[in-house]
Amino acid sequence: MRCLRLLLRAMLMGIRKAVLRDLRDCISTQLLVIIGGVMMVVVVVRQMQGPMDVLIKEEIVQPKNMFATMTPQETEPQVVFKSGMGIYNTSRIPALIHHKDMFLAFCEARKDTSHDIGNIHIVLRRGKRKDWKVEWGEIQVVASKHGYRAMNPVPIVDKVLDVILLVYHLIPAWVSQWKLVRDGVYNQYIMVTRSFDNGETWTMAKDITASTLGQMRPPPALYAPGVAKSRKKSQK
């Protein structure tokens, strides 16, 4: 019996060694296959690296100028109106609109003083966007009247009629606003002018006082137009 047990034990040990040897050979073969595959991938990638670099460099489009890649925060601010501009003492009360790829900037150009008195014109500068900057044109007088001051420009874009309207008001040049309020003097005019070519030319100003302030009872001693809103095609 003892001899039989020893024989069976020897047979089992032989089978186990054979299985382990076959398993080791199988693992070694698979490992070699994996290593070989990785090496082939590395070789292919290294061979393609040069042509890919050339291809990427050829596809990069260089910007035409430095502003094409800049953000609004990186650009320098532009001065559109300033004090001492031409024949004017001070520039105040700006207004800005955008229509058909064109900026239209308005302001009061005060000739005699920086205060709300004296000869005041309403002027315009038209600007065309180029990358992140705007190229501004020359100063253009839009509203003025001898002996009066033109104040508070309010541009309105009428997208229904494709017209730009400018509403403003006239006050005698040397009558102060304090005097108007103190004396209750009704001595001002609401005016409107239009442009059909995006600000290049303007029509003769029309007095609309009767249909605006004239409808108020009692009429105000002092009145100024304010910010407007574009009229869209869906509005009537």
**Span 133-177, pLDDT tens digits:** 889 999 999 999 999 999 999 999 998 999 999 999 999 999 888
Q: What is the CATH number of domain 78-215?
A: 2.120.10.10
Gap between the Cα atoms of 182 and 225, Å rounded? 20
In the block, residue with structure tokens 């002092």: 222
Query: Residue for token digits 């409808």?
Result: 215
Query: How much is the average pLDDT of 226-230?
Result: 61
pTM for this structure? 0.65
Closest CA relative to residue 224, chosen from 139, 117, 122, 150: 150
Give residue 191's identity as a one-letter amino acid code.
M
Residues 6+ away with beta carbon under 8 Å from 129: 101, 103, 135
Q: Are residues 81 and 125 in contact, defined by beta-carbon separation less than 8 angstroms?
A: yes
* pLDDT on residue 15: 52
Measured in whole angstroms, the distance separating CA 215 from the mean position of its chain's CA atoms is 40
* CA dist 126 → 89, 103, 215 (Å): 21, 6, 35
- Share above pLDDT 70 across residues of the chain, in percent, rounded to a whole number: 62
Task: Assess contact for 134 and 208: CB atoms under 8 A.
Answer: no
Please write down the HEC assignment for all residues of 93-129: EEEEEEECCEEEEEEEEECCCCCCCCCEEEEEEEEEE
Tens of pLDDT along 75-119?
678 889 988 888 899 999 999 999 998 999 999 999 999 998 999
Q: Which letter, b or e, does each residue of 123-148 get, where b requires 16 or more Cβ atoms within 10 Å of its Cβ?
A: bbbbbeeeebebebeebbebbbeeeb
Cis peptide preceding 72, ω within 30 of 0: no
Q: What is the pLDDT of residue 201?
A: 96
| Strands 148-158 and 206-207, sheet pairing | unpaired
Q: Tell me if residue 218 falls in helix, strand or coil.
A: coil
**Nearest to 78, CA basis, from 131, 135, 122, 124:** 135
Q: Alpha-carbon distance 120 to 137, whole Å?
A: 21
20: pLDDT strictly greater than 90: no
| Terminal Cα-to-Cα distance of the chain (whole angstroms) | 114
User: In this predicted model, what pLDDT tens digit does every residue of 168-222 receive, in sequence order?
Assistant: 999 999 988 888 777 766 788 999 999 999 999 999 999 998 888 878 777 776 7
**Per-residue model confidence as pLDDT tens digits over 22-63:** 545 554 555 555 555 656 655 555 655 554 444 334 444 444
Helix (H, G, I), strand (E, B) or coil at 149: strand
The pLDDT of residue 78? 84
